[in-house]
Amino acid sequence: MNPSRRQLLLGTGAVAALSVLGPPAAVAAPAVPGAEGPEVTGLGPGNSDFPLMSATLVDDTLWIGSRNLAPARVIGYHLPTGRVTATVDLPTGNFVQGSAAHGGVLHLGVTDAPGAANLYRYDGTLTALGSVPGADVRDVAVAPDGTVYATGRQKGRAAGPGLYAWSPATGAVTEVASPAPNATQGRAVAATATHAYLGVGSNLAGGGGATRAGLYAVERATGAVSDITPPDLRGDTIIRRITVLGDDLLAVSTEGAPAHVALLDPADHRVLRSFAVPGTKSVTNFQRRGDTLWFTSTEHGVLWRHDLATGALDQLAVPVPDGNSWGLGRLGDTLAGVTEGGTVWTLDLGTGAVATRDLVEAGAPAAAQLGMSVAARAGRVYVGGNGSLALHDLAAGTVRKLPVPGEAKDTVVLDDGTLYLGVYSSQGIWRYRPGSDPAPVKEAALPQEQNRPQVIRRDPDSGLLLLGVQADTTGGGSFVTYRPGSGRPTVHTDPLGPEQLVRAVAAGHGQAFLGGDNARPTGPRGDLAAWDPVAGRELWRTATDLGAGVSSLAVLGNTLYGLTVNGRAFTVDLCGSRRAGFVPVIGRRADLGAVSGANPRLLALGGALYGVSERSLFRLDRDTLAATVLVGLDAEWYSGARLAADEHGVLYTLRGRELIAVRP
């Protein structure tokens, strides 16, 4: 559909023009569906941009890999002219996260390419090199002889993440080593003439005995593996970057609290120096000239400078405030980097002058990315993506990009139109007030390990915001209450035990209801709990026999409705739920597998109950839990479908990657 037009698609297939999606009398309240079925309005791409995940300098061109676009692609940003001069589509993958150059040739690794190529070479012609089996490729490196090394996340592999090599002599991809069976992913690789290096850890699905940061050296001639993890780095979450900086220096960085940098001698792997980088969670992307080392951090957009001779460390610049860095290159006296929301920046080392450029404005092909979240009120619809929110002004027919670092995993709009966001990773709670905030602003921080908000809801009784959060690195999660504007969240860590994250939250009857899940393949999941959000105390908690994590909860009348991550509906009678000794019991159940995909969500609207999955938008019968499909969606979200409603009862979600409005 042409994103510059809006079309009203009737349930019968007829098409009519619609200029403004306003509040006509027919939708002043949630409507009972008529014979014609729901009205569906196409509003164009949900969030169209050029989010990115990597950048590597080849000659005078910065090659930038996309994130959550289809097809995955790399673009060439020509530094002298500040223009995008090339676009290369890849036949597989979602993230183009692995990127390295050798001899003027670009090498790439992608995620989400099961059973297909996930390693590529580009020298003016794109060539598939092969596949790292079962891997989301996170990093690639090239040895002096052209051997390509790669690692990534291999879910469920008993041996843990492996180091793999593609041989230019044979064209085959082979396993080199798998030294850390309890790590959840490999994140960094590097190579010299004599050694290959692998960095592992558990920044995803951590906890439960998962391996922390580990650095391994593999002798290329013999295959012998040595653990060379610097002592100061062992307690950190994961090795984030390994970079060969000449014959005399190997730079290693971590994700931690704070992050660390270690400088090693490649000849014997002794640690020359290690230091913490204050106020950072992750350090990435090294460059060196003589005794000066530059690197970036993923938080706050800081470019750091380290003097190798004196050990001095200082913040050189903040090219893009709060911009998460995914690449750093140097061309003469110019440093160049990128941030995830689609911005490229340059810094003149002579003058200190910083310039920034939006990649779409520079010629990058904007495209609809996978959706993260959706919220709606007062004629505005917000669709979250990587590094941005798309603000759809329905009356004006315009879409505006609002920068947000990381990913707005869930959003909610208050009655006054203020938007609140739960932002990954470790970004906390953000706010956007239309008309007064030029862009979203951070209002409150959460503990660093409580990094992945899953849900944000408003409690109408107390006015508190209620968040369910996942802790990627430690396992478990938290239940967070927050008074808007206070800047002081209250964090209840592991309210469902140390292994369960809080995936679902609902409010009603002065209570907050929590639903649990587990990021690891084994362990407890599916617990339910009720809290007094004002007093900050648990009212009741129970394990369940649901057999799966809880994806979503909603309160309607005296009933708590729930959906599991595998599409099972259930109810709990809430009568007497505030009384001491209340014993919650799972009541009615229904298998919605025929209409629901993974991680479905619920929305109570007036007296109706709606559900959404990547497969369909449906209505649930409150008594029987029978589902009636309203709209087929085939929706493309990053972590499960989302559904929002405005004050007029109009529903908003994605069909494919297009934002649609539905009058049920």
Of 277, 304, 326, the last residue of a domain is 277
Of 277, 305, 329, the last residue of a domain is 277
Nearest to 353 by CA among 340, 334, 339: 334
The beta strand positions in 425-473, using DSSP E, are: 428-432, 441-444, 452-458, 465-470
Residue 33 pLDDT grade (very low, low, confident, very high; cuts 50, 70, 90): very low
Check whether residue 572 and residue 502 sit in a common domain: yes
Helix and strand numbers (H, E) in the chain are: 0, 59
Check whether residue 431 and residue 480 sit in a common domain: no
Check whether residue 461 and residue 404 sit in a common domain: no
Q: What is the pLDDT of residue 230?
A: 99
Judge whether 325 lies within some domain: no
User: Which tens digits make up the pLDDT trace of 42-94?
Assistant: 999 999 999 999 999 999 999 999 999 999 999 999 999 999 999 999 999 99
Q: How many angstroms from the chain centroid is the CA of residue 492?
A: 23
Distance, in Å, from the CA atom of 416 to the CA atom of 419, rounded to the nearest integer, reads 9
Judge whether 154 lies within some domain: yes
Judge whether 356 lies within some domain: no
Check whether residue 453 and residue 568 sit in a common domain: yes
Nearest to 639 by CA among 110, 237, 68, 210: 68
User: Which tens digits make up the pLDDT trace of 427-469?
Assistant: 999 999 999 999 999 999 999 999 999 999 999 999 999 999 9
508 forms beta bridges with 511
Residue 161 has pLDDT above 60, yes or no: yes
User: Which tens digits make up the pLDDT trace of 238-273?
Assistant: 999 999 999 999 999 999 999 999 999 999 999 999
Rounded to 5°, the CA angle 174-176-177 comes to: 135
Nearest to 344 by CA among 663, 35, 44, 78: 78
Q: How much is the average pLDDT of 315-323? A: 94
Residue 555 pLDDT grade (very low, low, confident, very high; cuts 50, 70, 90): very high
Check whether residue 539 and residue 435 sit in a common domain: no
Residue 298 pLDDT grade (very low, low, confident, very high; cuts 50, 70, 90): confident
Check whether residue 452 and residue 581 sit in a common domain: yes
Judge whether 613 lies within some domain: no
Q: What is the pLDDT of residue 34?
A: 46
507, 469 Cβ separation under 8 angstroms: no
Check whether residue 430 and residue 451 sit in a common domain: no
Judge whether 360 lies within some domain: no
What are the φ/ψ torsions at residue 244 (nearest 5 degrees)? Answer: -85, 120
Check whether residue 250 and residue 376 sit in a common domain: no
Q: What is the pLDDT of residue 2?
A: 36
Tokens 């002043």 belong to 28
Domain count, the chain: 3
6, 599 Cβ separation under 8 angstroms: no
Residue 37 pLDDT grade (very low, low, confident, very high; cuts 50, 70, 90): confident
Name 525's Cβ contacts closer than 8 Å, sequence gap at least 6.
500, 516, 517, 518, 548, 549, 550
Q: What is the pLDDT of residue 589?
A: 98
Q: What is the CATH number of the domain that holds 451?
A: 2.130.10.10
Residue 300 pLDDT grade (very low, low, confident, very high; cuts 50, 70, 90): confident
Check whether residue 137 and residue 273 sit in a common domain: yes
Q: What is the pLDDT of residue 556?
A: 98
User: Which tens digits make up the pLDDT trace of 110-136?
Assistant: 999 999 999 999 999 999 999 999 999
Residue 513 pLDDT grade (very low, low, confident, very high; cuts 50, 70, 90): very high
Judge whether 29 lies within some domain: yes
Distance, in Å, from the CA atom of 392 to the CA atom of 398, rounded to the nearest integer, reads 6
Q: What is the CATH number of the domain that holds 33?
A: 2.40.10.500
Mean pLDDT of the chain: 94
Residue 104 has pLDDT above 90, yes or no: yes
Name 152's Cβ contacts closer than 8 Å, sequence gap at least 6.
98, 109, 111, 132, 135, 136, 137, 138, 139, 161, 185, 186
Q: What is the CATH number of the domain that holds 147?
A: 2.120.10.30
Query: Which residue range(s) make up the domain with 30?
Result: 1-46+369-445+622-664
Percent residues over pLDDT 90 in the chain: 92
Residue 25 pLDDT grade (very low, low, confident, very high; cuts 50, 70, 90): very low
Of 251, 277, 303, the last residue of a domain is 277
Judge whether 569 lies within some domain: yes
| Higher-scoring residue by pLDDT: 105, 577 | 105
User: Which tens digits make up the pLDDT trace of 7-24?
Assistant: 333 232 322 222 233 332
Nearest to 538 by CA among 463, 481, 488, 474: 481
Q: What is the pLDDT of residue 36?
A: 72
Q: How much is the average pLDDT of 405-433? A: 98
What 3-state DSSP class applies to 25? helix
Check whether residue 431 and residue 450 sit in a common domain: no
Check whether residue 177 and residue 249 sit in a common domain: yes
Percent residues over pLDDT 70 in the chain: 95
Judge whether 95 lies within some domain: no
User: Which tens digits make up the pLDDT trace of 177-205?
Assistant: 999 999 999 999 999 999 999 999 999 99
Check whether residue 384 and residue 268 sit in a common domain: no
Q: What is the pLDDT of residue 501?
A: 99
